[in-house]
Every structure is written in C-alpha cells, then in structure tokens.
Amino acid sequence: MINQFAVTMRKESEYAVIYTDGYINNLGGEKIAEVANTLIGDGIYKLVLNLEKSTVVNSIGISILIEIIEKLQETNGKLVFCGLTKTIAKTFTIMGLTQFAAISDTEELAIQGL
C-alpha cells in the first residue's frame, strides 16, 4: 500500500496551522517536521497541528512529533493539536504528549489556546 500523505499549512503573522492528510508514520512525520522546522526557522513558534484527515499515527510518527515539541520548547513556543480521533487523543495522553502540547476540539479553539 502506498502512503499518500500530504501536508499543507496556513501561515499567519504570529502562528501557523499545519494540516495533515493520511497515515502519520516515519514518512508523514518527516514531512510534518520539515514544515514545522521551516516555520520555526522563520520565527513562527506557535503552531496548530490539525490532524482531522489523519486517523492513524504510529510510534515513529509520535517520536517525530515529540521532537517538534522539544524544538518548540527551546524557543518558548507552543504546539496545540486539534481534529484528533478519540483513539489518537487517548494515545497522545498515554504517551505523555499532552504534558507538553495541548489538545483542542476545533481549530478555532486551538488558535485561541496559543
């Protein structure tokens, strides 16, 4: 099965929203990290990661998300997840991601939480 993963983003002056579409594994995670690292390099330290179109995240994908969180912590940045399935939200909580990044139900609430 070919992984048809896509990442797009919407950049504002103070924050950016990253949209994913597909399975977040090593390839998907790397694409997310590429976009996040570019944004951080451009001085955008407040990110929303909208996973509405991603229903599966594997352990490698999670480890890459943790790397993004760590990079944002170095810059006093913030990451908020939104659009999570119940399973992904529970997984992120169990894995400890929610200690360092918030989860919001909607993109609008996520932006407000930045």
Residue 2: the pLDDT is 54
CA–CA separation, 81 vs 30, rounded Å?
Answer: 17
Listed in sequence order, the residues at least 6 apart from 60 whose beta carbon sits closer than 8 Å to its beta carbon are 25, 26, 29
Q: List pLDDT tens digits, range 76-99.
A: 999 999 999 999 999 999 999 999
Neighbours of 99 (CB within 10 A): 9
Full set of structural domains in the chain with CATH = 6-112 (3.30.750.24)
Mapped onto helix, strand or coil, the DSSP state of residue 5 is coil
How sure is the predictor about 4, in pLDDT bands with cuts at 50, 70 and 90? confident
pTM of the model as a whole: 0.95
**What is the gyration radius of the CA atoms in the chain, in angstroms?**
13
Q: List pLDDT tens digits, range 18-66.
A: 999 999 999 999 999 999 999 999 999 999 999 999 999 999 999 999 9
How sure is the predictor about 3, in pLDDT bands with cuts at 50, 70 and 90? low
